[in-house]
């Protein structure tokens, strides 16, 4: 046993930050990915990681989940069944579960892709990755209780494709945490409202999970806001050009939305001036 512990500690001391993250990013199996991340994260928090900042990050050509999920174009995915049915609930949970799996890789990719950053940057996104793993496992337990598993339904690769087209720091922070993740702040309350009308035990369990995720995602978006502003200042970019930056990757980003979670978006760093671009709701 002592020899095993010594080998493990030695391995931790030899871990290099960027190459280890690249390895974790390519793992498809969520449980193997989770275990590998936690081993790495434990070493990171104990300062047992080395940094080689001259690495060249890979632009990945396929998402890590390709081997365990059937990937389809987002426009061709089947429509959701009624949430009053087990299959309908399972499809909903699977859809959110896939977002959380993707979010694990997105957070890890933030830390992996950008070298020579302040330590707080890596601290922030590794903590986000830890949160996303917890969200994934929480939803995975619910999905399995419904008789399904990750991979039971086809998924899209939209989040992955967008991330690999957002390769500079300003764009990445604007598009991923501050736009895509912020959109989740708008959609989650609407899903929760639909489930509240059903009131069965499975729906209540899903609601509990979504409420945890919604609350913690505010902090994730806020971290994106922090590093977006930091990167804009460093690059001499006016942060008020935020929506123009997003539009370069996601045309239509300025389109008005039927519902915007004003309160949580403000908590996450959005100004009323920004929110007036995508919402006609009152903001003060």
Kindly state whether residue 2 falls inside one of the protein's structural domains: no
Q: How far apart are CA 185 and CA 173, in angstroms?
A: 16
Q: How far apart are CA 101 and CA 52, in angstroms?
A: 27
Kindly state whether residue 45 falls inside one of the protein's structural domains: no
Kindly state whether residue 1 falls inside one of the protein's structural domains: no
CA count, 13 A, side-chain hemisphere, 67: 6
Q: How far apart are CA 178 and CA 229, in angstroms?
A: 11
Kindly state whether residue 25 falls inside one of the protein's structural domains: no
Kindly state whether residue 12 falls inside one of the protein's structural domains: no
pLDDT of the residue at 11: 45
pLDDT along the chain (284 residues), means of 10: 38 78 97 97 96 92 94 84 92 97 98 97 98 98 98 96 96 98 96 93 96 97 98 97 96 95 97 96 92
3-state secondary structure the chain: CHHHHHHHHHHHHHCEHHHHHHHHHCCCCHHHHHHHHHHHHHHHHCCCCECCCCCCCCCCCCCHHHHCCCECCHHHCCCCCCCCCHHHHHHHHHHHHHHHHHHHHHHHHHHHHCCCCCHHHHHHHHHHHHHHHHHHHHHHHHHHHCCCCCCCCCECCHHHHHHCCCCCHHHHHHHHHHHHHHHHHHHHHHHHHHHHCCCCHHHHHHHHHHHHHHHHHHHHHHHHHHHHHHHHHHHCCCHHHHHHHHHHHCCCCCCCCCCCCHHHHHHCCCCHHHHHHHCCCCCC
Partnered with residue 50 across adjacent β-strands are 16
Give the CA angle between residues 100, 109, 265 to the nearest 5°: 55
pLDDT of the residue at 79: 80
User: What is the number of domains present in the chain?
Assistant: 1
The alpha carbon torsion through 152, 155, 157, 159 (nearest 10 deg) reads -100
The answer to whether the CB of 181 falls within 8 A of the CB of 228 is no
Range of the domain at 248: 54-278
pLDDT of the residue at 49: 95
Kindly state whether residue 36 falls inside one of the protein's structural domains: no
CATH of residue 107: 1.20.1260.10
pLDDT of the residue at 74: 80
Kindly state whether residue 245 falls inside one of the protein's structural domains: yes
pLDDT of the residue at 6: 33
| pLDDT tens, residue by residue, 195-225 | 999 989 999 999 999 999 999 999 999 999 9
The answer to whether the CB of 64 falls within 8 A of the CB of 105 is yes
pLDDT of the residue at 284: 86
Kindly state whether residue 261 falls inside one of the protein's structural domains: yes
The answer to whether the CB of 58 falls within 8 A of the CB of 172 is no
Confidence (pTM): 0.93
How far from 178 is each of 74, 114, 246, 265, CA to CA, in Å? 21, 17, 9, 9
pLDDT of the residue at 12: 43
The answer to whether the CB of 85 falls within 8 A of the CB of 93 is no
pLDDT of the residue at 57: 95
The answer to whether the CB of 51 falls within 8 A of the CB of 17 is yes
């Amino acid at each position: 046993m002592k020899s095993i512990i010594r080998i493990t500690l030695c391995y931790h001391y030899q871990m290099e930050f960027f190459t280890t993250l690249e390895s974790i990013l390519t793992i498809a199996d969520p449980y193997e990915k989770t275990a590998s991340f936690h081993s790495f994260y434990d070493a990171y928090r104990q300062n047992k990681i080395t940094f080689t900042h001259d690495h060249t990050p890979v632009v990945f050509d396929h998402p890590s989940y390709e081997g365990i999920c059937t990937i389809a174009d987002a426009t061709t995915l089947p429509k959701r069944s009624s949430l009053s049915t087990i299959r309908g609930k399972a499809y909903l949970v699977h859809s959110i579960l896939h977002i959380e799996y993707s979010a694990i890789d997105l957070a890890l990719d933030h830390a992996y892709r950008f070298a020579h950053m302040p330590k707080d940057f890596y601290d922030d996104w590794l903590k986000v990755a830890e949160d996303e793993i917890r969200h994934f496992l929480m939803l995975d337990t619910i999905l399995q209780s419904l008789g399904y598993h990750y991979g039971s339904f086809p998924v899209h690769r939209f989040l992955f494709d967008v991330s690999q087209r957002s390769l500079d720091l300003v764009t990445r922070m604007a598009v991923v945490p501050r736009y895509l993740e912020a959109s989740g702040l708008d959609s989650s309350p609407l899903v929760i409202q639909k489930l509240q009308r059903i009131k069965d035990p499975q729906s209540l369990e899903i609601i509990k999970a979504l409420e945890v995720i919604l609350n913690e995602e505010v902090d994730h978006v806020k971290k994106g806001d922090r590093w977006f502003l930091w990167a804009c200042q460093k690059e001499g970019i006016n942060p008020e050009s935020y929506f123009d930056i997003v539009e370069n990757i996601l045309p239509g980003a300025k389109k008005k939305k039927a519902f915007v979670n004003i309160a949580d978006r403000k908590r996450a760093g959005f100004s009323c001036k920004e929110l007036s671009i995508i919402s006609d709701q009152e903001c003060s």
